[in-house]
Structure 1
Amino acid sequence: MSPEYYQYIFDRLLKNGALDVYITPIFMKKQRPANMLSVLCKEENLENLRKVIFEETSTFGLRQYKVDRYALDRDFKVVRTPFGDVRVKMGYLNGKFLKSHIESDDVKKIAEKTGLSVQDVLKILRQYDGT
């Protein structure tokens, strides 16, 4: 399958309930190079995501197994910056604040709008949210 369509397939999977989607380069039988598509999802989205995979990829079969997934409790705060409001994801463990992360979509939009590099935008924004 052509990698030109990966982004489209990723988008379809994410819109249909995937929590994460990624590709891993592997070797198949007879040492044929391939890419393994991995999709993390909740059980209630399995059937719909299997349908998307069969419809949109070249595969004739897939393997499915359960994994445990752990995530911090999270919420978002909005900080005011010279670029406008920016979202910051806040992570908590047992009610204790552990970390924060500036939303990458907001950083990309600012970089595109201003012509600054992503790294320069992050340096500026970190002065406003403490990350």
Structure 2
Amino acid sequence: MFDHRHEHIDDRMVLLQANLDDMNPEYVSYVSDRLFEAGANDVYWIPIVMKRGRPGVMLNVLVSEERIGEMERIVFAETTTLGLRYLRADVHRLGREFATVETPWGPITVKLGFHRGELVQMAPEFKECEAAAKSSGVPLKTVYDEVRRRYADMRSAAGQQSGSGGGT
């Protein structure tokens, strides 16, 4: 179980950036996958306008300092960039915990985010919801809504069992 006394995770990280205006856009998802597989904490692309009005994209890779070398290797091998920028970043994250919700489509994991001991985020795991929706023919949003409802019911039942139901 998550120890809420240590719920915030503060890390020194690096944001690697590269501007690209001559790369095949079909490579974007492949490069992103490679970076995530190698340990990137986040990868995102921003459309930009470069010199002489050329459209381009800015690659952003958030990574721990220990993994910079591997990220450089992938970016230089898989993109057309000739250079990278490095911006130091302090990252503050919520404490995280996972729970399993029983649904008509089987168990689905939810990710929970805590701030100062209070649950502030709850997100069903996308891939599990996607698999449930595809295998059952139910809309993805229906699966998400049901997971959220069942988690709220679980939480409410647990609160009532522990006496923290908040009666008058």
Structure 1 and Structure 2 fold alike (TM over 0.5): yes
Distance 1:61 1:68 in 2: 23
SS in 1 for 2:148: helix
- Residue 126 of structure 1 deviates from its aligned partner by 2.1
The sequence identity of aligned pairs, in percent, is 37
Q: Cα RMSD (Å) of the superposition?
A: 1.4
Which TM-score applies when normalising by structure 1?
Answer: 0.93
Question: What is the match of residue 128 of structure 1?
Answer: 150
- Aligned AA for 1:89? K
Moved runs in structure 1, 4+ residues, more than 3 A? none
How many residue pairs align between the two structures? Answer: 131
Amino acid at match of 1:33: P
Greater length-normalized contact order (CA 8 Å, ≥ 6 residues apart):
2
Correspondence for 2:109: 87
Q: Which runs of 5+ in 2 are unaligned?
A: 1-22, 154-168
**How big is each residue's C-alpha offset from its partner over 1:53-94, in whole Å with a ceiling of 9 and x where there is no partner?**
000001111111112211100010111111111101111123
Equivalent residue number for residue 69 of structure 2: 47
Summarize deviations over 1:100-128 as a string: whole Å, max 9, x none. 11111111111111122211211222221
Q: Which has the higher strand share?
A: 2
1:1-131 pair list within 5 angstroms: 1-130=23-152
CA radius of gyration, larger in: 2
